[in-house]
Amino acid sequence: MGTLNPNFEGEAVIVTGATSGIGREIALRFGDAEAAVIVADIEKEPKDAAVPTHEVIVDEGGTAEFVQADVTDCSQLTELVNIARDYGGVDVMINNAGLFIGGSILELDPEEFDQIHAVNARGVYFGTQVAAIDMIDRGEPGVILNTASISSNNAQFDQVQYDSTKGAVRMITRGAALELAEEGIRVNAVAPGQIGTEFIDGWSEEAPEAAKNDDLIKPVPLGRAGTPEDVAGAYLFLASEEAGYVTGDLVSVDGGWQVF
């Protein structure tokens, strides 16, 4: 099977939530593709590896910088874009930072509701906004990619608060794509399925075995849980010229979960 090997030499890529999980793999892949990668996260130390993301990229001969950032703070999102100017300006903005809080709609308290929406929806909205404004100001239209979810289109038990944030990501993506098309800025989202990461405590250990034994709540047609490596390639494709006529889309990377 052939492979897609886009090159992002001379381009700056911001990845939020890039210390661990899917975000880490996205950042590493863009580093391999010769982009200057701004690794943004609240924590520098990864949950699922020994060496911080930006250090791996630099050790392998790439360019990367860690910036501590809370995506619920608009001033910190703006600072990320300002830092990208040291590398020529943001070309690809990846709003990947996310939070999971489960529980019944009968139990969630207002503080938890505000917290998950601040990270998952507000962070994506204003991450999109600050990147788009900077691209327009520089006259350099780029690409904005948001991390959605299978929950963007499908309700799941005890996840209404999470599902609602990912539904918001889908509509932020579509609305922004419509509005920013005249500026030449493409906006898309990737919707991962059941991916084995530390995002949900214990899921990384349980998911592969559950998929193997067909014990998932809803079976994955491809017969296994996904990995961050399965997901990251979609971001490189959507950011590349190969996807130059794709905008406003939500690309599912879920092993066929949404098919039935």
Q: Work out the pLDDT band at 199, boundaries 50, 70, 90.
A: very low
Which residues are annotated as catalytic?
162
In a domain, 157, yes or no: yes
In a domain, 238, yes or no: yes
Q: What would the pLDDT profile of 94-145 be if each residue is shown by its tens digit?
A: 999 999 999 999 999 999 999 999 999 999 999 999 999 999 999 999 999 9
Burial bucket for residue 92 (CB in 10 Å: 0-12, 13-18, 19+): buried
Percent of the chain with pLDDT over 90: 81
Q: pLDDT at residue 170 above 90? A: yes
Q: Work out the pLDDT band at 197, boundaries 50, 70, 90.
A: low
Name the nearest CA neighbour of 94 among 23, 161, 198. 23
Average pLDDT, the chain: 92
Burial bucket for residue 244 (CB in 10 Å: 0-12, 13-18, 19+): exposed
Across-strand partners of 110? none
- Assign residue 163 the CATH number of its domain: 3.40.50.720
In a domain, 19, yes or no: yes
Distance in angstroms (rounded) separating the CA atoms of residues 158 and 253:
22
pLDDT, position 94: 99
In a domain, 257, yes or no: no
pLDDT, position 137: 98
In a domain, 259, yes or no: no
**Where is pLDDT greater, at 205 or 15?**
15
Across-strand partners of 92? 13, 143
Q: pLDDT at residue 234 above 90? A: yes
In a domain, 2, yes or no: no
pLDDT, position 215: 52
pLDDT, position 204: 45
Q: Work out the pLDDT band at 209, boundaries 50, 70, 90.
A: low
In a domain, 5, yes or no: no
Q: pLDDT at residue 50 above 80? A: yes
Residue 32 to residues 57, 96, 129, 159, 230: CA-CA distances in angstroms? 7, 19, 27, 35, 16
Q: What is the residue range of 85's domain?
A: 12-252
How many domains does one find in the chain?
A: 1
Task: Give CA torsion, residues 152, 165, 69, 48, to 10 deg.
Answer: -60
Backbone phi and psi for residue 35, each to the nearest 5 degrees, phi listed first: -80, 155
Amino acid letter for position 88: G
Handedness of CA 178, 180, 185, 190 (dihedral sign): negative
Mean of pLDDT values over 141-153: 96
Tell me the two tokens of residue 199.
């995002």
Q: Which residues contact 42 (CB under 8 A, 6 or more apart)?
A: 19, 68, 69, 70
In a domain, 59, yes or no: yes
